[in-house]
Structure 1
Amino acid sequence: MSKHFLVIVATVGLLASLLSCGNGKPALDNPSRGEIVIAADESFQPLVTQLTSAYSGIYPDAHFKVIFRPEQEAINMMLQDSARLVFATRVLKPNERAVFDQRKIKGATEKIATDGVALIVNKANTDSLITMAELQRIFNGQISQWGQLKGGNQSSPITLVFDNNNSSNLAFVLKTFNIKDVKGLRIFTTHSNREVIDFVRKNPSAIGFIGVNWISDSDEPLSVELAKDLRVMGVSDKINPVNRNDYFQPFQEDLGMQRYPLRRPVYILSRETHPGLGGGLINYIVRDAGSLIIRKLGLWPRTPYDRIINLTK
């Protein structure tokens, strides 16, 4: 047997071992290596970016291609097998679940945090308190002017600003107030949470609706910069609040203690069918130090991460 032939056999064998699992199929990813696509609603961009970057920092061979889309589009990507995981504010609907059932995919749903939709106004606007009843009347079309709010000091019309027609922020608010038709409402949509912030900075008559993680990380320079020249509105679920203590903002303690009315869950939806990279990321977030990142971003993690500190004399 010639040396040349042996080299060819060795090369082919090495190539086969790299490209297959012994059955001619590409090797599956695992919790510490591989590449998967993640889809997420754009309101969670700071959260998802930090979580995936931290995990890749631990496992350099783990790579995530993150695509930000309005929530329904993100879920559709997973149903069409264009994404392995989705960060969303809801579980699958029965018709969506049926897509998995038809393909005999069990899937998984994990709640990872409690988030809040923040209402932001221009710093020049001192009307920074609002009740759920007033918001209901705004979305019902009964209130259209700032002066109609309790303590309102503007005479201009209220402009409601959202990041996208199909975003989780808009869907959550419309569901909360049971709004089926937005015709006649002064609603303006942009293309991102950041554009909502920019719009509110330029328009004192606007109320912007954004994911709170965009402005709640005091250690992140971008978050601090975005929060400049804005007020985060306090919201009360009391019909007749007595004082400012009856209003709450969408920050960590008020989310965790369930005092902020416009709070919502954050889920990871998975279509993974083997113990892969998606499951590794989920375990890191739910059972490991990923909850520290959630806490750092001002959200309330589902499972607190216990840090053990040894004190010595």
Structure 2
Amino acid sequence: MTNRFLILIGFLVGLMGCGNDKPPLDNPSQGSIIVAADESFQPLVTQLTEAYAGINPNTHFKVVFKPEQEAINMMLQDSARIVFTTRELKPNERAVLDQRKIKGATEKIATDGVALIINKANTDSLITMAELQRIFSGQIKQWGQLSGANQHSPITLVFDNNNSSNLEFVLKTFNIKDVTGLRIFTTHSNREVIDFVRKNPSALGFIGVNWISDSDEPLSVELARDLRVMGVSGKVNPTKRDDYFQPFQEDLGMQRYPLRRPVYILSRETHPGLGGGLINYIARDAGSLIIHKLGLWPRIPYDRVINLTK
């Protein structure tokens, strides 16, 4: 009788197990999720996710780099848990999560800048926002039309992708609706923009600054070789070199560089999971040190406690 009872219990437990084939939920110290990110943030996102996985060995991030809109769509379609982006969700995108009763989360983690890069042979490394406005409105087409120019070839504007955050940000900044009359060349990545500019003295490239701002990273140093990063002035008629600023840390943090932009993490997570763990690490923990190391301005500086003893 006892044996029959035990067999019956085992059979019932087996049936219950068969109906529960869902994988266990991830948590901040265990599990695997997909992360989508705009390609301009590849160095930043790679270092942040690798650092988190390094201190939490039971976690894994599959990072997918896409143009910004495609990365956001991945998150909305539940193909990615979180996404690194330069903007918050638009009302129609927010509605997608609302329809599924997903509250989601938006966390600003840093201030970034779009860097303007030119070939080292081009010594005209200063430009104003007014001049950029005239370039994107088609009024300026030649380098020789800029003050201090040492060449007179056509200006080729180089971006990483037709749908990239770099291009969208610049067009929005200068309120440009139609680019059909502009000399624009698109590649497939920020790295390819760098390679194109290095080979073409007439090119003006637009990249995420984290690609070239980490002086401790050999790849970053190599990519910055044979390039100039332009100084940009918000003044219409700047009178001195100090009126121009580059997209590096202090000028981003002090809001002096005109082409600065926020960095957000957008999440669709519905439980205290691995995505939330990564966000907390970046926004409120040592992750801000990595942001700082990469030359960006972290939203919340990492507090360093120093004990002095006699």
Fold match (TM-score > 0.5): yes
Question: Which residue is equivalent to 2:267?
Answer: 270
Q: Deviation of residue 153 (structure 1)?
A: 1.6
Question: Which residue is equivalent to 1:30?
Answer: 27
List alignment gaps of at least 5 residues for structure 1.
none
Counterpart of 2:211, as a letter, is W
Q: Deviation of residue 151 (structure 1)?
A: 1.2
Q: Deviation of residue 150 (structure 1)?
A: 1.2
**TM-score scaled to structure 2, two decimals?**
0.95
Q: Name which of 37, 40, 55 aligns with 1:40.
A: 37
* 2:108 equivalent to 1:130: no
Seen in structure 2, the aligned counterparts of structure 1 residues 197 and 13 have a Cα distance that, compared at 3 Å, is: farther
Counterpart of 1:72, as a letter, is Q
Question: Which residue is equivalent to 2:50?
Answer: 53
In 2, Cα distance between equivalents of 1:2 and 1:216:
72
* 2:189 equivalent to 1:192: yes
Q: Deviation of residue 26 (structure 1)?
A: 2.1
Counterpart of 2:27, as a letter, is N
* 2:116 equivalent to 1:119: yes
In 1, Cα distance between equivalents of 2:115 and 2:109:
19
What are the within-5 Å matches in structure 2 for residues 156-175 of structure 1?
A: 156-175=153-172
List alignment gaps of at least 5 residues for structure 2.
none
In 2, Cα distance between equivalents of 1:197 and 1:110:
30
Q: Deviations over 1:283-310 (max 9, x none)?
A: 0001100000000000000000011011
What are the within-5 Å matches in structure 2 for residues 84-233 of structure 1?
A: 84-233=81-230
Q: Deviation of residue 6 (structure 1)?
A: 8.1
Structure 1 outlier segments of 4+, above 2 Å? none
Q: Name which of 295, 308, 311 aligns with 2:308.
A: 311
Seen in structure 2, the aligned counterparts of structure 1 residues 249 and 6 have a Cα distance that, compared at 3 Å, is: farther
Q: Deviations over 1:46-92 (max 9, x none)?
A: 00000000000110011100000000000001111100000000000
Question: SS at the partner of 1:133?
Answer: helix
The share of aligned pairs that are identical, in percent, is: 84
Q: Deviations over 1:179-206 (max 9, x none)?
A: 0000010000000000000000000000
Seen in structure 2, the aligned counterparts of structure 1 residues 161 and 310 have a Cα distance that, compared at 3 Å, is: same
In 2, Cα distance between equivalents of 1:138 and 1:101:
41
Q: Deviation of residue 25 (structure 1)?
A: 3.0
Aligned residues: 309
Question: SS at the partner of 1:184?
Answer: coil
Q: Name which of 246, 256, 259 aligns with 2:256.
A: 259
In 2, Cα distance between equivalents of 1:264 and 1:193:
17
Q: Deviations over 1:22-58 (max 9, x none)?
A: xx53210001110000000000000000000000011
Q: Deviations over 1:200-242 (max 9, x none)?
A: 0000000100000000000000000000000000000000000
In 2, Cα distance between equivalents of 1:277 and 1:300:
24
Question: SS at the partner of 2:24?
Answer: coil
Question: Which residue is equivalent to 1:63?
Answer: 60
Question: SS at the partner of 1:112?
Answer: strand
Q: Deviation of residue 270 (structure 1)?
A: 0.2
In 1, Cα distance between equivalents of 2:227 and 2:252:
20
Q: Quote the RMSD (CA, aligned, Å).
A: 2.3
Q: Deviation of residue 13 (structure 1)?
A: 7.0
Counterpart of 2:80, as a letter, is A
Q: Deviations over 1:231-279 (max 9, x none)?
A: 0000000000001100000000000000000000000000000000000
